[in-house]
């Protein structure tokens, strides 16, 4: 089966940097994605890592180490609007095709 | 920017009743998915659908559930004989291709409340 582990919540102050870690166990692994979800909203795609290394998109960066089955999302220059839940998600290939499985989510609280 | 749209936004039903949740995926997308999220919990995969058939389903997606693409634009999830534990937010998602990098585009969800 597939499993993902990420911290349940993280608190940081405005302007700071925060890192949300994710470890996974899965067969047929293709890549790791990150999604953001505000309360009452839909998950929205942030980033994808298929290969080892760092991907940067503005204030957000994501890292993957396939050998360690580990990745993280790095949020810089935190803003109040970044308060949300962040889900890591494994993209893997089963018998019927690709499937995306989500972790339990990390709730980020940004304080002034 | 094109969106996935879901209706209704909130559905209240009595236990034992059937409900149909509707989704209109992004028009050029070919791969469709249903996920559910019980309040405060993770987003759980239910089913994926391509070329008018189910390609993958989870253990949650039992005989109580079915999906259909009745025409060229709608994608529906039917829940027969609803149970209290079916109360959740149901998200529809679509992707344009079955590549590992394709992000899921989610609709805003239907909140299903079973009383």
pLDDT mean over B51-78: 93
- Candidates A12, A11, A41, A3; CA nearest to B4 is A41
Work out the mean pLDDT of chain A and round it to a whole number: 93
| Residues on B contacting A at a C-beta cutoff of 8 Å | 31, 33, 35, 41-45, 48, 50, 54-56, 91, 98-109
How many C-beta neighbours within 10 Å does residue B115 have?
A: 10
Cβ-Cβ contacts under 8 Å for A8 (sequence gap 6 or more)? A104, A105, A106, A107
Sign of the torsion formed by the C-alpha atoms of B81, A104, B93 and A80 = positive
Other beta carbons within 10 Å of B33: 27
Q: Do B45 and A97 touch (CB under 8 A)?
A: no
Cβ-in-10-Å burial (0-12, 13-18, 19+) of B70 comes to: exposed
| pLDDT at position B2 over 80 | no
Contact at CB, B105 and A45, closer than 8 angstroms: yes
Burial class (CB in 10 A: 0-12, 13-18, 19+), A43: buried
For chain A, residues with pLDDT lower than 50 are none
Q: Find the CB nearest B104 among A31, A37, A45.
A: A45
Task: Verify whether the Cβ–Cβ distance B91 to A44 is below 8 Å.
Answer: no
More confident call, B12 vs B51: B12
Q: Answer whether residue B27 shows pLDDT above 80.
A: yes
């Amino acid at each position: 089966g597939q499993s993902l582990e990420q911290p349940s919540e993280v608190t940081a102050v405005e302007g700071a940097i925060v890192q949300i870690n994710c470890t996974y166990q899965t067969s047929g692994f293709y890549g790791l994605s990150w999604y953001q979800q505000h309360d009452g909203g839909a998950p929205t795609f942030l980033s994808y890592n298929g290969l080892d290394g760092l991907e940067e998109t503005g204030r957000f960066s994501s890292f993957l180490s396939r050998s360690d089955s580990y990745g993280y999302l790095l949020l810089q220059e935190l803003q109040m609007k970044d308060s949300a839940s962040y889900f890591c998600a494994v993209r893997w290939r089963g018998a019927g095709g690709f499937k995306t499985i989500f972790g339990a989510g990390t709730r980020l609280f940004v304080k002034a | 920017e094109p969106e996935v749209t879901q209706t209704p936004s909130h559905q209240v039903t009595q236990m034992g009743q059937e409900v149909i949740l509707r989704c209109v995926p992004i028009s050029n997308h070919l791969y469709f998915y249903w996920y559910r999220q019980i309040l405060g919990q993770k987003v759980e995969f239910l089913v994926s659908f391509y070329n008018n058939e189910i390609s993958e389903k989870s253990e949650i997606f039992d005989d109580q559930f079915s999906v259909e693409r009745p025409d060229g634009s709608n994608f529906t999830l039917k829940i027969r004989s609803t149970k209290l534990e079916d109360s959740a937010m149901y998200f529809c998602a679509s992707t344009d291709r079955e590549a590992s990098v394709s992000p899921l585009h989610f609709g805003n969800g239907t909140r299903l409340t079973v009383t």
